[in-house]
Each structure stands twice: as C-alpha cells, then as structure tokens.
Amino acid sequence: MSQITARLPDTVVSALDHAAQTLHRTRAEVIRQAIEAYLKDFGDLSVALERLQDPTDEALDWEVAKRALLSED
C-alpha cells in the first residue's frame, strides 16, 4: 500500500478526528473510506456527464417520464 502526505486546514483535521473517534476508526481509515467513496461517485458522475454530452443519446421529456414512473400499470 502506498503512503501519501497531504496538508489539510485545521478545521478539516478537527472534523476528521471527531469522525474517527465517533466511528472508532483511525484517521487513515476514515480518509481512505472518504477517498474511495469520492472516487466511486466521481466515476458515476463521469459516466453521467459523458451521456449528457452525447448528442446521439436520446433525451426524455420529464413530464412523460414522470407520468410513466407514477402510473399504476
């Protein structure tokens, strides 16, 4: 496993310490989980942005989609 160093504002370190204490985890575990969650979301957002920017991707009308989702059929 690689090791990295980062500078964080004191307020972020305080919040990190509070989260670690509350979760009974180390700082490193909280940071690792936070980065993993961020990168997972980043990957999902990247796919969504690619699809939004694809001019060949069909767009759905919100009112039509809403009716279809809320219909009881």
**DSSP track, 7-65:** ---HHHHHHHHHHHHHHT--HHHHHHHHHHHHHHHHHHHHHHHHHHH-TTSPPPPHHHH
Tell me, yes or no, if the pTM score tops 0.75. no
pLDDT at 22: 98
pLDDT tens digits, 18-58: 999 999 999 999 999 999 999 989 888 888 888 888 888 78
Phi-psi region of 55 (alpha: psi -120 to 50; beta: other; left: phi over 0): alpha
Of residues 38 and 59, the one with the higher pLDDT is 38
Q: How many whole angstroms from its chain centre is CA 38?
A: 4
